[in-house]
Structure 1
């Protein structure tokens, strides 16, 4: 394996560069998945039947907390990648750990939110609106859950193997995934929650 020391560690081999390119292509497919969910949501948002509407069910406080947690986690993972590029393993692991704690906090609030919706009578069977809302939020939440465990495994690998071209590549790809989830959340926050509260 030929290592190019003039490039950042995560790009330092041809295989690493190809893996990053492949992941960008994968993210393109993920964009299509969420675009389909958003399109379905905008089509079904007013089909509430006898069920609750967004204006009746959405509460700003938990949504703001979720947003702050997730956007802060995007900042900390950026600091983690910066520390990785400086070769500071301890700082990188610290920032990645903070990122995962913030992600876990986000998931905790989302579970609370789902329990609240169900308690208020908003389930997959209530209406077309409730079905697509819970499906969209649940799909994003599932992605964050996968990201949480993925990040844990990366931390364990870095602890065991250190910062190598392989672990740096995995960490960078994970950071792309995490940033992507944050961008999706901005759309959820803006076009589902804020618009729904109006």
Structure 2
């Protein structure tokens, strides 16, 4: 039976400050969560209050394929994180590239959805309250995906140049936190816009 450590034994163990990168990223995520909360609350508040059409039920299609792609990217980036910890750089680059590809597919799907809504259904940001809140909320999320993809692409370029090693694992994990945040926000946006709001 192992003995419970005494107070002096615990005091002998060095205490390490949390990673500045993780603290910084978590602070950013908390701030961004507040912004998304405001946009989600506005969307929910204005559901059904548009005085003219089109309405969400008339024009929105549930983006199942796009959602599967984006949520799958959380798995692929996690796999990339595991590979860089083991210094398997080629495997890391592969999973990192797959993550980027899934994010790009999601963005293309969002662009095609917007094209249909604007040019086929006549829904713009100034059409009605639904248009205003829809493009604001989904556009805010898409902007975060673009920012995330830019950072992921930069890491991929450095990886292909041979500049990324296992010593960068901590930084990669910090960046992956942002991507997981973007995916988690999509779950909320998807639920509010395409399930509750229709």
TM-score (norm 2): 0.86
**Following the alignment from structure 2 to structure 1, what is the Cα–Cα distance between the partners of residues 129 and 195?**
19
Match of 1:18 among 20, 45, 48: 20
**Could you say which residue in structure 2 is the equivalent of 1:133?**
134
**Following the alignment from structure 2 to structure 1, what is the Cα–Cα distance between the partners of residues 113 and 148?**
20
Would you say 1:123 and 2:124 are equivalent positions?
Answer: yes
> How do 1:176-187 residues align onto structure 2 when only pairs under 5 Å count?
176-187=177-188
Per the TM alignment, residue 47 of structure 1 is displaced from its structure 2 partner at its CA by 2.1
**Could you say which residue in structure 1 is the equivalent of 2:74?**
74
**Following the alignment from structure 1 to structure 2, what is the Cα–Cα distance between the partners of residues 117 and 72?**
26
Would you say 1:57 and 2:64 are equivalent positions?
Answer: no
Per the TM alignment, residue 164 of structure 1 is displaced from its structure 2 partner at its CA by 4.8
**Following the alignment from structure 2 to structure 1, what is the Cα–Cα distance between the partners of residues 124 and 77?**
34
> How do 1:104-183 residues align onto structure 2 when only pairs under 5 Å count?
104-119=104-119, 120-160=121-161, 161-165=163-167, 167-183=168-184
User: SS in structure 2 opposite 1:185?
Assistant: helix
Relative to structure 1, the CA distance from residue 117 to residue 190 in structure 2 (aligned partners, 3 Å threshold; closer, same or farther) is same
Q: Which segment is superposed worse, 167-176 or 86-95?
A: 167-176
User: SS in structure 2 opposite 1:180?
Assistant: helix
TM-score (norm 1): 0.86
Relative to structure 1, the CA distance from residue 159 to residue 16 in structure 2 (aligned partners, 3 Å threshold; closer, same or farther) is farther
Q: Quick check: 1:154–1:170 contact (8 Å CA) kept in 2?
A: no
1:24-64 Cα deviation digits (max 9, x unpaired)? 0111001001001001111112222212111111112xx00
**Following the alignment from structure 1 to structure 2, what is the Cα–Cα distance between the partners of residues 15 and 110?**
41
- Unpaired segments of 5 or more residues in structure 1? 1-13
**Following the alignment from structure 1 to structure 2, what is the Cα–Cα distance between the partners of residues 19 and 149?**
18
Cα RMSD, aligned residues only:
1.6
Which is higher, the Rg of structure 1 or of structure 2? Answer: 2
**Following the alignment from structure 1 to structure 2, what is the Cα–Cα distance between the partners of residues 182 and 19?**
20
**Could you say which residue in structure 2 is the equivalent of 1:94?**
94
Per the TM alignment, residue 81 of structure 1 is displaced from its structure 2 partner at its CA by 0.4
Aligned residues, how many?
181
Per the TM alignment, residue 15 of structure 1 is displaced from its structure 2 partner at its CA by 8.7
